[in-house]
Structure 1
Amino acid sequence: MPNRPPRLCSRCRRTAPAGQRCLCSPAWTGHNGYTGSGSTRRWRTLRAAKLAADPICERPTCRALATEVDHITPVSAEGDRYDWANLASLCSPCHLDKTLTEALAARWG
């Protein structure tokens, strides 16, 4: 039975073994890079409403314009995806910082 040839990684453009994630992929992603965002109409509507209601980043020391809506308690940790109280409007740098902090804690914690 022949083996599948290596695939070209869409992130770093290097070859990666077929059926395995590339070394450049974060550990929290699946083997195909899917992070489970699953954007739905309900989520997009809730996101737009949250950004309209809280247009400034909700991090205490930041006053930038919010462009992202993040879950305070991650959905993967039993957080409710559509609960308004579980949402925070964040600017992109704060959202990236929070996401990386949570990912490193999950990876090494």
Structure 2
Amino acid sequence: MAQNMPKAAPKPCNYPGCGVLVRDGSSRCSKHQREAWAKPTTATKRVTGRRLQTMRAALFSSNPLCVECERLGRVTLATQRDHIRPLAEGGTDDDSNVQGLCHACHEAKSLAESKRGRQRAQWGAQ
């Protein structure tokens, strides 16, 4: 087998307006490479380990139901410790900024937060 075989079939660079064929299996040509993601130095440090488990247990014992489902008249157990105002948007990791959500409500809220984050990044890059 030849050593100079391409890794993938050539396809156009996915940078808007660029049609250069990319032959290395990536999605961008050498002119339009994405910068590697790095956590911002200003990012809030997350609570982990035993301290987080203790905080989760306290939250679920004091309010075992999903607050969003309760608001909608449903009764569902909370399974996720959620930041009301996300840490990425300036929220804190204290008891006044956390709530219990079920998996489905947490997933929906996280998707909306992720979309806002992508929009912030897009507007910030322009």
TM-score norm. by structure 2 comes to: 0.54
Residue 37 of structure 1: CA displacement?
A: 5.8
Q: Which runs of 5+ in 2 are unaligned?
A: 1-24, 27-36, 39-44, 121-126
Residue 43 of structure 1: CA displacement?
A: 1.4
Give the root-mean-square deviation of aligned CA atoms: 2.5
TM-score norm. by structure 1 comes to: 0.61
Residue 63 of structure 1: CA displacement?
A: 2.1
Q: Please identify runs of 4+ aligned residues in structure 1 that moved more than 4 A.
A: none
Instruction: State the SS of the aligned residue for 2:48.
Output: coil
Indicate how the Cα distance of structure 1 residues 43 and 72 shifts in structure 2: closer, same or farther if over 3 A, else same.
same
Instruction: State the SS of the aligned residue for 1:69.
Output: strand
For 1:67 and 1:88, how far apart are their aligned partners in 2?
10
For 1:42 and 1:63, how far apart are their aligned partners in 2?
28
Instruction: State the SS of the aligned residue for 1:56.
Output: coil
Q: Which runs of 5+ in 1 are unaligned?
A: 1-15, 18-29
Partner residue, 2:104: 93
Q: Larger Rg: 1 or 2? A: 2
Match of 2:63 among 54, 60, 63: 54
Partner residue, 2:77: 65
Indicate how the Cα distance of structure 1 residues 84 and 38 shifts in structure 2: closer, same or farther if over 3 A, else same.
closer
Higher relative contact order (CA 8 A, sep 6+): 1
Indicate how the Cα distance of structure 1 residues 85 and 38 shifts in structure 2: closer, same or farther if over 3 A, else same.
closer
For 2:64 and 2:102, how far apart are their aligned partners in 1?
9
